[in-house]
Structure 1
Amino acid sequence: MIASIFTKSRPFNYILVSSLLVLCFLIYHFSFFGTSENDTFSLSEGIQKLVILFFLIASLFITNFITKRNGLSKDNSFSALFFVSFLLFIPSVFDDFKIVLSAFFNLLAMRRLISMKSLLTPKEKIFDASLWIFIAALFHFWSILFIFIVFVSIVFHVSGDYRNWVLPLIAFFTVGILFLFFSLIINEEWISSVGSQMSINFKFYPYEKSANNLALVLYALFSISFLISMIFTLSRRPIMMLASYKKVIFAFLISVLVYIISPDKSNALLLFGLMPVSILATGFIEINKDSVLKEIVIGTILATGILLFIFQL
């Protein structure tokens, strides 16, 4: 039933998943009303929440754009469905302004890097992607690790030109100089804020809510299953798409590393892996011909996301 609806890319499907995202976003925030400290919020807080919602919806459509525009899926809307379904695993992200912005800028970088397979204007794409990644690092420092995918893309496509290897360094100094300039003019605390994020912490502590721990475990199980499936079915994918799929795999692995080494661990950090996991899940659905299995997998992930969302309120 669900698989048959999202097999085609229809405007109705995107309205459906967007509405689900907006509905859950509103439920999450209004569920805190009634407590003494959360009866109301200020105008600035309200604007910030709307900005978070805007960037989450934008991330949804950019993920879908990356998937369809670069041939990572057929003419369907599974990636959008999986993005929202897995987003419901981590409702805490609805309140994390910096993580949402950082993940969004990394998505813009991935859009440029995956499109490099066309070999059109590779230098512009390398510089743009590097620029977005370093901007993302201003909001969550360890997202800077995604710069590794820039060099992977250079190796895959344009390693012969030495100038391509210098472009990320130019982007780094561009963002660094502009950040220091505006920090010194507007607010010097921005510098210390970024500096405080540079520490590494490998320690894991259970979350207070058991539902949060369950969400992390189930997200890991689903994503690892889809990752293994993609690795073992790469030989069945179109040859011209192999580099793009490998970048998606690298993006997922880096998102795991970002979670592992970040000092302040929360499930919101899983947002960095939502785009690659959505593509990996879509690949799993498309490569399997068993319609019953498709319905079970899609229905299970969607139902699990909704239940985990409710339990974490």
Structure 2
Amino acid sequence: MITSLFRKSTPINYSLVVILLLVFFSLIQFEENSVVSNTLSIVYKISMLTVLIASLFIVNFIAKKNGLTKNSSYPILFFILLLGLFPTIFKSPNLIFANFFLLLAYRRLASLQNLNAIKQKLFDASLWICVAALFHFWCILFLFLVYISIIFHASRDYRNWIIPFVALFTTITIFILVALVFDSSWISYLIETTKTNFQLDYFTNNIQNVALSIYVVLSLYFVFSMVFTLSNKPMILQASYKKMIFGFFIGVIVFLISINKSNAMLVFTFLPLSILCTNNIEYSQNKTYQEIVLSLFILAGFFSYFSQL
């Protein structure tokens, strides 16, 4: 029944997912110490919500436009359920904005499979990743995904290998100029975030530990399911799926090395994981299996979210 509802992309499905996002976001804002107190705060939270909604549609665009999934609503459903696993994301504007710019980068990298305007796409993707790094520095590691994409699609032209450095230099130059004009403390703040922390000692309650455990189990299952079945996918899509797998592991590394660590930092893995989850159930011919997987995912998302309110 659940799989039948989201098997197609319809306005009703989109509305249900957006409503679910609104509920998740709103309940967190009414939590203690997170109450809207003034006009500026309202504008700020509306901006966060707008970016989250835009992120849903970018996820949908990446999955459908590049043929990574069939014509279903599963990608955005999985994306919002993964957000529900770690509700602190809804109180983390830097992570929300950083992930949004990474999604824009993924959009350009995924479209490389048609081999049109390669240099422009590589520059755009690199630039968006550098912008994301201004909100969360270690997102800069996603530049490795750009080079992986170059290896897959355009390694013969040496100029392509230079493009990420051009984007990085452009971003640094503009950022320094803007910071010097408005607030030079932005520079010292960014430098401070370049530190690393490999310890997993940030848990404040057992529910966070449970949520992370659920995430690890789901991730291992869906990622390695794709790894072992990749050779069965259409040849034209294999490079795109490989980029999703690499993107997932880069996101995990960003989480592992970041300072001020929290489960919310796993948001950088949500796009590739959503696509891998969708692919898993779409290509299964067993409807019972599809229903069980989707039901367990929904239960996990709701349980984790409401347990952490």
TM-score after normalising by structure 1: 0.97
Structure 2, gaps ≥5 residues long: none
The question of whether the paired residues in 1 share the 8 Å contact of 2:7 and 2:72 is answered with yes
CA gap 1:99/1:206 in 2 versus in 1, 3 angstroms = closer
Distance 1:55 1:251 in 2: 21
CA gap 1:290/1:200 in 2 versus in 1, 3 angstroms = same
Q: Establish whether residue 125 from structure 1 lines up as the match of residue 121 from structure 2.
A: yes
* Aligned AA (2:57): F
Distance 2:125 2:247 in 1: 13
Alignment correspondent of 1:6: 6
Alignment correspondent of 1:291: 287
CA shift for structure 1 position 209: 1.8
Per-residue deviation, residues 143-186 of structure 1 (Å, max 9, x unmatched): 10000010011111111111111111111110000000000010
CA shift for structure 1 position 31: 2.9
Alignment correspondent of 2:224: 228
Task: Please identify runs of 4+ aligned residues in structure 1 that moved more than 2 A.
Answer: 37-40
Match of 1:95 among 86, 91, 94: 91
Alignment correspondent of 2:19: 19
CA shift for structure 1 position 39: 5.6
CA shift for structure 1 position 206: 4.8
CA gap 1:224/1:38 in 2 versus in 1, 3 angstroms = closer
Distance 2:101 2:237 in 1: 24
CA shift for structure 1 position 286: 1.5
| 1:50-89 mapped onto 2 (5 Å cutoff) | 50-89=46-85
Distance 2:215 2:90 in 1: 17
Distance 1:212 1:20 in 2: 21
| 1:84-233 mapped onto 2 (5 Å cutoff) | 84-233=80-229
Q: Establish whether residue 251 from structure 1 lines up as the match of residue 274 from structure 2.
A: no
Alignment correspondent of 2:274: 278
The question of whether the paired residues in 2 share the 8 Å contact of 1:49 and 1:95 is answered with no
The question of whether the paired residues in 2 share the 8 Å contact of 1:206 and 1:213 is answered with no
The question of whether the paired residues in 2 share the 8 Å contact of 1:6 and 1:77 is answered with yes
Match of 1:309 among 285, 305, 309: 305
Moved more, 44-53 or 98-107: 44-53
CA shift for structure 1 position 46: 1.8
Distance 1:303 1:152 in 2: 35
Distance 2:190 2:47 in 1: 21
CA gap 1:40/1:141 in 2 versus in 1, 3 angstroms = closer
Q: Establish whether residue 29 from structure 1 lines up as the match of residue 29 from structure 2.
A: yes
SS at match of 2:193: helix
Give the count of matched residue pairs. Answer: 309
CA gap 1:236/1:38 in 2 versus in 1, 3 angstroms = closer
Structure 1, gaps ≥5 residues long: none
Distance 2:36 2:236 in 1: 53
CA gap 1:40/1:22 in 2 versus in 1, 3 angstroms = closer
Q: Establish whether residue 262 from structure 1 lines up as the match of residue 271 from structure 2.
A: no
CA gap 1:40/1:68 in 2 versus in 1, 3 angstroms = closer
Distance 2:52 2:299 in 1: 20
CA gap 1:38/1:286 in 2 versus in 1, 3 angstroms = closer
CA shift for structure 1 position 11: 1.3
TM-score after normalising by structure 2: 0.98
Per-residue deviation, residues 233-268 of structure 1 (Å, max 9, x unmatched): 111110100000000001000000000000111111
Distance 1:139 1:31 in 2: 24
The question of whether the paired residues in 1 share the 8 Å contact of 2:78 and 2:277 is answered with yes
Identical positions, percent: 44
* Aligned AA (1:24): F
Per-residue deviation, residues 168-224 of structure 1 (Å, max 9, x unmatched): 111111000000000001000100111011011111115112111111111111011
CA shift for structure 1 position 14: 0.7
Per-residue deviation, residues 21-58 of structure 1 (Å, max 9, x unmatched): 101111111132xxxx5565222222111111111111
